[in-house]
Chain A
């Protein structure tokens, strides 16, 4: 049997689920290249079967399982996401408001302290001015 025909037969085994002839099996035993292809193909076919089984066994607990509970989880999900969005927006707003208040507070307090400093300097000037008169008086 020709090598080309064996490859074709293995192709049929992998992709069409065809059985292999004895002749093909004999060739596979004697040909290293075909043996590698056949062994890999067996693993591949078995893997595909396992994947199909996994899929069947897999149970979607929360989904549109029946017409009675058809969209209940979607509605819940929508509400949940809305709630999450509202809470996040609220918290974001709160942070912005606090930032503004804090900024204004510090800005105002620094403004007030500047004013006070000015006032104090003026008072100090005024006092030293009055004292200067006293010193003159004491001198005479």
Chain B
């Protein structure tokens, strides 16, 4: 299998997961496609730096995390260019998406290491084994992170201020 076939297969396998990951991290709906493509573009460009092909998923996921960081910094820098509505075009224009923005707010409040595990487990329906491969951590560590993410979410959900219904 040459590089092209290998990366094609990996990209096809991961594009859905990355889309979910970026959407869960409040990447604007109109930007998700570009951000996912940027990840694949960078992966292809720097494919020679990949040492172990078995760890390609965690490698691509770490690229995705960096791309997300850069994206969020850019949004922060140019915040004045976007209006509030434009900033959350997809989430705020639809009145039925109150619950969606509620979830995104909560997910955003989670620390990075818990957030990634939570998204992969609950949004992407990945197993603990798959998550540990993607994040390059042990399964027990993954379980602990998942448990702590749940604890954090529980304490947030128990908070009186969140309830507006």
Contacts and interface: CB of A to CB of B under 8 A. Distances in A.
Interface of B is mostly: helix
A39 B8 contact: no
Interface residues of A, number: 32
Interface string B71-114: 00000000000000000001000000111111110100000000
B163 A39 contact: yes
A54 to B, nearest CB: 6
A78 interface: yes
A70 to B, nearest CB: 4
A48 B122 contact: yes
Contacts of A33: 158
B11 A64 contact: yes
Contacts of B154: 11, 14, 37
Interface of A is mostly: helix
B8 A71 contact: yes
6 contacts: A14-B157, A47-B100, A50-B99, A52-B123, A55-B23, A63-B33
A29 interface: no
B2 to A, nearest CB: 11
